[in-house]
Structure 1
């Protein structure tokens, strides 16, 4: 059974929320980040990028301490308030394409994470876990929820619709034309109904935020188990039907010493290859791949003799590409750390790939269909792990709207 808890979020005042809320730090380049900070003194970027105040790049423990200081200043200035009583937060996003995401910001259980009630589909890096654990321990808060998904529930949907029939506490639109709404839920009957609905579920699945959840689990080991705030982590729970899952395309810097002809011959043992010329090609079936090489598009169809799969991971296209091309032909073993490979999420136009090859920045690109929610769940249920950058998943919550304090 899955356990979710209400918590006393720290959040912006209603008049400031649209100014405070930001995308995650890594989504900005330095020029864009500095521009936003220069124009907006309330941006949450001032907290997570404290070196801006000193016109200096600051890293490590010193940065973490300055983040804590900036956060306290926002609280002292009345930009943030703390909820008077524990609450769930119904959160709805309508993006520029009119996709709607509606879920619950809540506290999820570290114990559920440790006992595999909350299931994972990606490996984590120990260095990143350790660094983020130190960050959380120093700053004393977390502003980015782990995205969890659950099987569609008519009961939960009905409860959320009832909550959303009232006026939202927050309603703001970003410069990316996404509209955000938030409703705090503090009444005991509604909280208990939601908890009961989740308690009937055997599993929740991490869609995005493996390092955030693993770091929260590590943090809990460093503190007394009687401190409930350390035994939980902030999550955004949405039904699986509302997830948008995109592929990650692969850009490779070189052909590992092979000529174009030698590379195509090597591929021929694994795939039926068709040259599409200059006509863009995107696959329409699983185990079909697109490739762009030397100004031309190719379709690659995995040969039927190689379609004997023993596990859900064996059937996954990102794994197939790794086992048939990236590792044996191109010599890329470490998908996380090899600087010969770069990942580009599938939301972007195909020209974002082809231009970088035409400019000779990279030699070849590969694309495939997105992973499905069923594939994600099958791999997590089997205790297996996808290759890195197998999925790009939306929605992405704004930082600074709800903050979880330890």
Structure 2
């Protein structure tokens, strides 16, 4: 069963919450982070993307980057931008995007659970991305990146969280520049804390990583590297748990650089072997059901519908990303490994279909594919089966902000 704990969050003064809160470190490159933090000395990007405070020629994985993060974190605390709660608490985090609300429980989750598959995964991790976060955590002593976990919703947990939101005053409540509203309540009542902990231990058999595989893996490897020097706090990592009925998975689309030597007509002809094709012209197409795809090539949109025999019924074979890979990317375009092939790129659904048209229209790419989003049940099925999704299969929105709640593993 799931082991979670309250923790003493390092967090901003209420009046500084909006200035401190930053987009996750892994959705911004260094140049974007520098622009976003410009003129804001309280932006948490000075900690998560600390290279913005060093010369532009600095290697973002150099030792001085992590030392700068440690120094900046200490300065934030010294300036009283951030302070640490004196009592271990749970935190309720509500996000509202485009009128749609979702609420999660911020806590720390057991690294033992991660290693014993009580916390289930659906992606492989990349060593270089792991190492970056390992270095950041070890040097700064802080888990700054929140791991987004999902669980099958439980009525008792829902009722507890809803009651707290209705009867207590939020400590933070602001709308960010991207129009997403962030509201956080502190659960500091000992009886309520004990009840939440007990409910997860008795009623929630497992949780699922929705977003943050590298952050979770890095926390586990830091604990292992510390060995006997690991503190009790290092046995846990920063997570926010969302019930499955509140989650929204967006499409994660693909663009390809070339058609593997084929002209447009020859490419379309090959597609007709496995798909029903409909020319849509200039009307952008967002798939409305599983096994249908949008294709943008040579200035036109097409609807593709997978024919029988293009997929299997197992948890991986039935995914649209698998259908695309097995019937188009590998056999026709000769893109064998999308993790490493430089001829393919991925575009999160938050950027919209216009981004696909832009990438192809700029001659950067030759064609784009829009996909129907993976469902939360598909994610659960794959995680439960021990399988791994193809890369870049899920895009969750809205994103949790860094800096509002940080977990220190040592001081």
> TM-score per shorter chain, which class?
over 0.9
- Match of 2:15, SS state, is coil
- In the superposition, relative to structure 1, how do residues 347 and 36 fare at CA in structure 2: closer, same or farther (>3 Å)? closer
Say if 1:243 and 1:395, in contact at 8 Å, map to a contact too.
no
Match of 1:317 in 2: 320
What is the Cα deviation at residue 170 of structure 1?
A: 1.4
Tell me the distance in 1 between the aligned counterparts of 2:7 and 2:30: 34
For residues 285-322 of structure 1, the C-alpha deviation after alignment (integer angstroms, 9 at most, x for no partner) is: 21111111111111111111334x25210000001101
Say if 1:5 and 1:195, in contact at 8 Å, map to a contact too.
yes
What is the Cα deviation at residue 57 of structure 1?
A: 4.3
Say if 2:92 and 2:186, in contact at 8 Å, map to a contact too.
yes
Q: TM-score, normalised by structure 1?
A: 0.95
Match of 1:129 in 2: 130
Say if 1:144 and 1:397, in contact at 8 Å, map to a contact too.
no
Of residues 341, 345, 348, the one that matches 1:342 is 345
Match of 2:309 in 1: 305
Match of 2:157 in 1: 156
For residues 159-202 of structure 1, the C-alpha deviation after alignment (integer angstroms, 9 at most, x for no partner) is: 11222221111122211222222122222211111111111211
Tell me the distance in 2 between the aligned counterparts of 1:52 and 1:326: 37
Say if 1:51 and 1:57, in contact at 8 Å, map to a contact too.
no
Gaps of 5+ in 2: none
Say if 2:286 and 2:353, in contact at 8 Å, map to a contact too.
no
Gaps of 5+ in 1: none
- In the superposition, relative to structure 1, how do residues 120 and 30 fare at CA in structure 2: closer, same or farther (>3 Å)? closer
Match of 2:18 in 1: 18
Match of 1:61 in 2: 63
Residues 1:43 and 2:43 are matched in the alignment: yes
Match of 1:116 in 2: 117
- Which moves more between the two structures, 40-49 or 293-302? 40-49
- In the superposition, relative to structure 1, how do residues 100 and 300 fare at CA in structure 2: closer, same or farther (>3 Å)? same
For residues 343-362 of structure 1, the C-alpha deviation after alignment (integer angstroms, 9 at most, x for no partner) is: 11123332221132223221
- In the superposition, relative to structure 1, how do residues 379 and 52 fare at CA in structure 2: closer, same or farther (>3 Å)? closer
Match of 1:359 in 2: 362
For residues 25-71 of structure 1, the C-alpha deviation after alignment (integer angstroms, 9 at most, x for no partner) is: 34446565334433212111222333444443432211001110111
Tell me the distance in 2 between the aligned counterparts of 1:338 and 1:117: 33
- In the superposition, relative to structure 1, how do residues 49 and 204 fare at CA in structure 2: closer, same or farther (>3 Å)? closer
Over aligned residue pairs, what C-alpha RMSD do you find? 1.7
Q: TM-score, normalised by structure 2?
A: 0.94
Tell me the distance in 1 between the aligned counterparts of 2:317 and 2:374: 13
Say if 2:350 and 2:397, in contact at 8 Å, map to a contact too.
no
